[in-house]
Structure 1
Amino acid sequence: MIFQALFECMDFPGWLFFSFVVLVLTDVFRNRRPHSFPPGPWAVPFLGNVFTGVDFKTMEKLAWVYGPVFSLRRGSERMVFISGYKMVKEALVNQLDSFVDRPVVPLFHVFSKGLGIVLSNGYLWKKQRKFANTHLRYFGEGQKSLEKYIEVESNFLCEAFNEEQGRPFNPHYIITNGVSNIISSVVFGHRFEYSDQRFRKFLELDNEAIVLSGSAQTQLYDAFPGLLKYLPGPHQTVHANYKEILIFLKKEIEKHQEEWNPDDPRDYIDVYLAEMEKKKEDPQAGFNIETLLVCLLDLIEAGTETSSTTLRWGLVYMMHYPEIQEKVQAEIDRVIGQSRQPNMADRPNMPYTDAVIHEIQRMGNTVPLGFPKMASKDTTLGGYFIPKGTFISIILASVLFDKNEWATPHVFSPEHFLDSEGQFRRRDAFLPFSAGKRVCLGEHLARMELFLFFSSLLQRFTFSPVPGEMPSLEGVLGFTYSPEEFRMHALPR
């Protein structure tokens, strides 16, 4: 009787308020933190922690408050973040099979559809990754070796720098084009001239998509895809860019189909087309044109973005630390001289240059939050229970700057990678390529590119800032962490 009387006397605003309270209580009850789940900040009803920053520096602060395993909520989705070398090693190495899957990331699922190498899972992922890995190894042998590709491209890159005749210029897309030509030679069978405006547009679209995909506004799409897909915003630009990129890649596939000779495979696309014929009876392996398209995107992005961004960070740090640049050049002159190009056989004899490159990778921190993963099974980490299917983010920045692993984590110091006798030393906490079963497929290629491109550039040029335009050491956070646009002088030695 009391409730009936109460309902009868409620007006429209009262009913609205009552309905809102019921919805809030329902959301709080439905999305309450599970028992033994990692801790985290209080979440706003309906929205979760969408007002919490998505950058790695915010994650570092949260780890300091809540510990190396903590959680956030975006919409109704709970996410677990793993921080620090000790816990990251436990997750990726000691529990090798616990966090091997990829979640559905709505922003990328629109075009990837769970295909390809990076965002696929299960049987399809194993088959596609193994095939790509085998092909990359094939190109690492004989006359078609990756090292030879890089040596040739290093000449083109240095010539492009030389054409600037010491004038101020922005090296962004010269470097990106040069690095991308290596993986392009592998997958397409040819490189692209630096003057090729069609490929330059491809690189610009990809760079814009990568920068935008890491912004807080774009990542709202992952929390509320059903609503935001109808609204304007940077996510629409990301999707539009990838649509154009896929058109570019599809044209390359069509050209290969027209010229294809199964007896004379020239590149990754050709051998993939042959594999499609062999795997017709195994559709679950995913060897078809749609998967090939996503694989090409995965390989081009993985083989371009992080290495080219690291090289740009390298130029920034050499301008900030000219005394280190001089020591690298002195080692190059002593070991290689000026009469020949650097090659991989030189690296063991160049510990200081190797240490500088590793420190550039560490401080450059190009993929600070890694690539999203998902708990493959119910597991326990750091004393907390993480259910199967939980979204996982590995904070690689926390490993590269772990104060328990590095003497001066926030200072650029090649000595982090040198022993007391000046010889190069490997560091367990050096994980820019991640670790475990999802370790970067192109790690070997990236290591070769960084050594050969970097040493070739410093063999032939001295880099200095444009007066009054010293590049910032604070980067731009997109999906990757990259230097702000800058100009510089490249003075021939």
Structure 2
Amino acid sequence: MAQKGKQCRGSSVAAPVNGRDMIDINSVMVGLVGFVTFMLVLSYGKYAWRRKKMPPGPVPLPILGNFLQLQSEGLVPSLIKLAEKFGPIYTIYMGSRPTVILTGYQTVKEALVDMGDAFLNRGSLPIFDRIFNYRGLTFINGDSWKQLRQFSLMTLKDFGMGKKSLEEPIQAEAQHLVEHFISLNEQPFDPSTTLTCASSNISSNILMGTRHDYNDKKWMKILEDSCQAFHIVSSIWGQFYDMFPKIMPYLPGPHRKIFSLLKPLEDVVKESIRTHQETLDPACPRDFMDCFLIRMKQEEKNFETSFDMANLKSTIFDMFLGGAESTSVTVNFGFLILIKYPELQDKLHEEIDQVIGQIRQPSVEDRNKMPYMNALLHEIQRYSDVFPMGIVRSTTRDVPFHGYCIPKGTDVLPVLTTVLRDPSQFESPGDFNIKHFLDESGKFKKNNGFLPFSAGKRSCVAESLVRLQLFIFFTVILQKFTMKSIMDPKDLDISPTESGLENLPPVHKFIFISRV
């Protein structure tokens, strides 16, 4: 028999906890709580110190950041309203991500031009980061970006950008538009997808050497899907995604369609690359893609090269999307404005008839002889304000700016709409006023606040291409047609249907009445 007071072997009865063990557990718990408290205080201290050094702004909530303030009146109006309270430089939190907001011509110019190298990097764009995987001209930084930008500028120039030789494909595409509008027999129709196809054909010709017909149903569906993806990106769902990128991929909603809507266009780019590889002649490059593939071959032994397949695909995809979308939206807004204010068409018809006539194709030399058309195109771009928020930048170093310190790697958003509608630069910024670009004698005048392509080294590489395309498209269409709507111009609403990353025009049916 076991002795009394001793436990049998294998018994499940736990040994009693003595006082010393209890003291040890309590000590561990106290130490753990103390450590967690210390880390929280330290973290808050760093957060408070960082906010103290950075520009002021609304107090963010944990996790949500300033989401509630930014959605109270819509994203762009909210950013403008906060500038009225906090000044031209302030800080908001996109979820947990601090972003410095720059507003007004003077502030944006100082950052992007005067101190351009300090604000040179691309900032965080969660939706596009997922689409492009941090590759391509728009989304990379450092030496890779410098190499790709220099290459892109030189190659686009070789294929006619900024030269008279680029007129011919744009003139040809404008003529295709004229023939398409004539075929409609003055029946009202929504030109949105047709204009996207026309604009995309200019980009596609330079980038991939291809063109698509407006009656190509498969291609038009791809373009419609791409436009729908941009609509979602510019909606509140796209804003949700950019603020909460870690959780939005797992939540239901239209934002989940963005990537599948863009996939068919991405597949077209991939297939074009494959075809170009099979038919490449290094001695005779046909387009931008050929030139990139040749450069890839030249640097295949350089393991740190920026000229690889991922950057090729993303650069082509990005340049194609950006060029086609922004130009077609600008043309669409322009048509709406001309229908809303038919007296503008009368004035333009008169200028076109005097300088060009109704038969000869317009050329780039005509632009300097047509101050009214030149001023109109500038005012259309200013007023339509296609990318009202610009594209986010990031600081390359700690930046002292207006008495604040913006830490290295901080997202910085230059709100371009506040430049294009800065009352210090434009007499009536909220109105469509062609006199913003005309002097008292009716001659074209420049305006420093005209920055629809952004400014500095990160500005749009295809600015001259877009400007030439707008001039030829508008001049050819107005040379041949008078545009009308199915409703009274006074009742025509030309306000954007979405205003986030992009301002999107409302859908209306137009009538193209032949002048010939």
Report the counterpart of residue 349 of structure 1 in structure 2: 369
Letter of the 1:42 partner, please give it. V
Which of 465, 471, 474 does residue 495 from structure 2 map onto?
Answer: 474
Which of 161, 168, 179 does residue 199 from structure 2 map onto?
Answer: 179
Letter of the 2:503 partner, please give it. Y
1:315 offset after TM fit, Å? 0.4
TM-score computed with the length of structure 1 as normaliser: 0.92
Which of 279, 287, 292 does residue 272 from structure 1 map onto?
Answer: 292
Q: For residues 177 and 429 of structure 1, what CA distance do their matches in structure 2 show?
A: 30
Q: 1:343 to 1:421 in 2, by over 3 A?
A: same
Which of 184, 187, 201 does residue 164 from structure 1 map onto?
Answer: 184
Answering whether residue 443 of structure 2 is matched by residue 447 of structure 1, we say: no
Q: For residues 206 and 119 of structure 2, what CA distance do their matches in structure 1 show?
A: 30
- Give the conservation status (yes or no) of the 8 Å contact 1:72–1:78: yes
1:27 offset after TM fit, Å? 7.9
Which of 476, 480, 483 does residue 460 from structure 1 map onto?
Answer: 480
Which of 225, 228, 234 does residue 248 from structure 2 map onto?
Answer: 228
Which stretch of structure 1 is more off in the superposition, 356-365 or 288-297? Answer: 288-297
Q: 1:141 to 1:450 in 2, by over 3 A?
A: closer
* 1:357-407 deviation line (CA, Å, top 9, x unaligned): 111011000010001111111112222211111111111000110011111
Q: Which runs of 5+ in 1 are unaligned?
A: 9-20
Q: For residues 345 and 143 of structure 1, what CA distance do their matches in structure 2 show?
A: 11
- Give the conservation status (yes or no) of the 8 Å contact 2:67–2:95: yes
1:298 offset after TM fit, Å? 1.3
Q: For residues 162 and 448 of structure 2, what CA distance do their matches in structure 1 show?
A: 32
Q: For residues 426 and 225 of structure 1, what CA distance do their matches in structure 2 show?
A: 41
Taking the TM superposition and a 5 Å limit, the aligned residue runs for 1:230-309 are 230-309=250-329
Q: For residues 84 and 207 of structure 2, what CA distance do their matches in structure 1 show?
A: 43
1:229 offset after TM fit, Å? 1.9
Q: For residues 29 and 165 of structure 1, what CA distance do their matches in structure 2 show?
A: 70
Answering whether residue 235 of structure 2 is matched by residue 215 of structure 1, we say: yes
Answering whether residue 78 of structure 2 is matched by residue 58 of structure 1, we say: yes
- Give the conservation status (yes or no) of the 8 Å contact 2:56–2:86: yes
- Give the conservation status (yes or no) of the 8 Å contact 2:389–2:500: no
Answering whether residue 103 of structure 2 is matched by residue 86 of structure 1, we say: no
Secondary structure in structure 2 of the residue aligned to 1:72 = strand
Which stretch of structure 1 is more off in the superposition, 395-404 or 265-274? Answer: 265-274
1:128 offset after TM fit, Å? 1.3
Answering whether residue 71 of structure 2 is matched by residue 49 of structure 1, we say: no
- Structure of higher CA gyration radius: 2
Letter of the 1:485 partner, please give it. V
Taking the TM superposition and a 5 Å limit, the aligned residue runs for 1:131-170 are 131-140=151-160, 145-170=165-190
Q: For residues 236 and 58 of structure 2, what CA distance do their matches in structure 1 show?
A: 18
- Give the conservation status (yes or no) of the 8 Å contact 2:239–2:500: no
1:451 offset after TM fit, Å? 0.5
- Give the conservation status (yes or no) of the 8 Å contact 2:121–2:394: yes
- Give the conservation status (yes or no) of the 8 Å contact 2:162–2:465: no
Secondary structure in structure 1 of the residue aligned to 2:99 = strand
- Give the conservation status (yes or no) of the 8 Å contact 2:76–2:500: no
Letter of the 2:275 partner, please give it. K
Which of 43, 46, 71 does residue 91 from structure 2 map onto?
Answer: 71
Q: 1:34 to 1:142 in 2, by over 3 A?
A: closer
Q: For residues 300 and 144 of structure 1, what CA distance do their matches in structure 2 show?
A: 22
Secondary structure in structure 1 of the residue aligned to 2:57 = coil
Q: For residues 174 and 74 of structure 1, what CA distance do their matches in structure 2 show?
A: 36
Q: Which runs of 5+ in 2 are unaligned?
A: 1-21, 27-36
* 1:94-149 deviation line (CA, Å, top 9, x unaligned): 10211110123221222312111000111111111111111110111799922111
1:24 offset after TM fit, Å? 9.7
Letter of the 1:289 partner, please give it. M
Identity of aligned residues (%): 36
Report the counterpart of residue 316 of structure 1 in structure 2: 336
Answering whether residue 514 of structure 2 is matched by residue 492 of structure 1, we say: yes
Answering whether residue 435 of structure 2 is matched by residue 418 of structure 1, we say: no
TM-score computed with the length of structure 2 as normaliser: 0.88
- Give the conservation status (yes or no) of the 8 Å contact 2:124–2:392: no
1:29 offset after TM fit, Å? 5.5
RMSD: 2.3
- Give the conservation status (yes or no) of the 8 Å contact 1:365–1:432: yes
Q: 1:218 to 1:28 in 2, by over 3 A?
A: farther
* 1:149-170 deviation line (CA, Å, top 9, x unaligned): 1011110011111111111100
Secondary structure in structure 1 of the residue aligned to 2:346 = helix
Q: 1:235 to 1:30 in 2, by over 3 A?
A: farther
Letter of the 2:458 partner, please give it. R
Which stretch of structure 1 is more off in the superposition, 176-185 or 210-219? Answer: 210-219
Query: How many pairs were matched up?
Result: 476
Q: For residues 23 and 142 of structure 1, what CA distance do their matches in structure 2 show?
A: 57
- Give the conservation status (yes or no) of the 8 Å contact 2:66–2:92: yes
Which stretch of structure 1 is more off in the superposition, 389-398 or 224-233? Answer: 224-233
1:244 offset after TM fit, Å? 2.9
Q: 1:246 to 1:23 in 2, by over 3 A?
A: farther
Answering whether residue 57 of structure 2 is matched by residue 40 of structure 1, we say: yes
Letter of the 1:271 partner, please give it. C
Q: For residues 284 and 449 of structure 1, what CA distance do their matches in structure 2 show?
A: 37
Q: For residues 425 and 310 of structure 1, what CA distance do their matches in structure 2 show?
A: 21
Report the counterpart of residue 205 of structure 1 in structure 2: 225
Report the counterpart of residue 189 of structure 1 in structure 2: 209
Q: 1:166 to 1:78 in 2, by over 3 A?
A: same
